[in-house]
Structure 1
């Protein structure tokens, strides 16, 4: 019986922590710019809803695109540097860890709400949608973004650029897991929910550590975001109270 061949070592990339900070800076600057535009609209119906969608989607997507461009310019592309490729093993691992994470996150969220109260437990996105009723098309866009798109972009930053920067310095996988989890929680800029975000991020980071590739952490992140995305969809349509 022949032993399975070990996977070839990835070629070294030429980007480090500066790449992650650049992508984060793009996210912050674009967020501020779109927020300024959003603030000037006041309460103008459909234009307000469109501005809200742009405020949620554009900064995250642009930051994710910056991460991809960095790998193309300073590395070997996202497929090699991030392990961003379709493998059933990564998909099933991400699904399995994601389900475990979803259960733990749901329990942690219930405990957190009982501890700090509903008002302090709401995410930034949920707070932004408070009292706003969106057209169905825009509500679906937000649902798909929170469930599918945002996890991809965030994983390219935290478990892609940031994790890769630590790999380049030959830091251990456990160090990469701990630091990327902490920075992920802090980087959401939601101080009231930082501890909860730590719980959410641990299974996602474990998926990245176990497989060595971002695909698994993306799937785990998407599984974890599904129920919150459904909740936001129902809230934005006025079906469920905030």
Structure 2
């Protein structure tokens, strides 16, 4: 007789894994806006400006403040809406998020830009005369004494809000449109800087605005983040905003 064969050892079933593999991240959509989106936002800026000018006619102090602030804010909101509809929103598409590294880089580059801008403005005033060194904003406020509350509003707009709006348009929407065309970062920097200077519609100050825009664009280029260029722009605008505050309060001659 054959010897009885031992029964095979039965192993207990392996326990089911209690941890599920991490889900794969959802692919981030590439934004789908181009240069047309930027020019559309610029057209909105011009349209709002024209409508306000037609509404107010001969503007008083409040009308001047509204005319200075509203077109820029509306154009920036249009730009943000475009990123939501045709992309992933400003946080992802512009890198518009709070990171200390971007803030400190923006502060450092902005401080250097403030020095270079001050020197360039002084030289420009000597060469071209003071009448060609004044911005459109200072021209509108020339001879207008604003109530303190409105003067502070203008100061905060020029110092803090206008840089955010302009950066969203030029180094956000425009920058992203050119990146989508696969232009090199240098070409994107050069063209956005040029259009920033031209887009202020101040022909007598275009060269000076180019000098002002260079460090701001550098902050955007080296960090890849709009946060850095916004901070650099705000640092650069502080002294002009302070000057406008003093002029509009009648504490300093225009």
Q: 1:154 aligns with which of 156, 166, 173?
A: 166
The answer to whether 1:228 aligns with 2:240 is: yes
Cα 1:183–1:10 change in 2 (3 A) is farther
The answer to whether 1:28 aligns with 2:46 is: yes
- Provide the rounded CA distance (Å) in 1 between the counterparts of 2:105 and 2:144: 37
Could you give the per-residue CA deviations for residues 74-95 of structure 1, whole angstroms, max 9, x where no partner exists?
0000000000000000000000
After superposing on structure 2, the runs of 4+ consecutive aligned residues of structure 1 that deviate more than 2 Å are: 36-41
Taking structure 1 as the reference length, the TM-score comes to: 0.93
Gaps of 5+ in 2: 1-26
2:184 corresponding residue in structure 1? 172
RMSD of Structure 2 on Structure 1 (CA): 1.0
Q: 1:93 aligns with which of 86, 105, 118?
A: 105
Counterparts of 1:196-215 in structure 2, within 5 Å, are 196-215=208-227
2:35 corresponding residue in structure 1? 17
1:6 corresponding residue in structure 2? none
Q: Which has the larger radius of gyration?
A: 2
Gaps of 5+ in 1: 1-8, 42-47
Identify the structure with the greater helix proportion. Answer: 1
- Provide the rounded CA distance (Å) in 2 between the counterparts of 1:10 and 1:171: 21
- Provide the rounded CA distance (Å) in 2 between the counterparts of 1:180 and 1:188: 13
Q: Is the 8 A contact 1:204 1:217 kept in 2?
A: yes
Could you give the per-residue CA deviations for residues 168-221 of structure 1, whole angstroms, max 9, x where no partner exists?
011000000000000000000000000000000000000000000101000000
1:116 corresponding residue in structure 2? 128
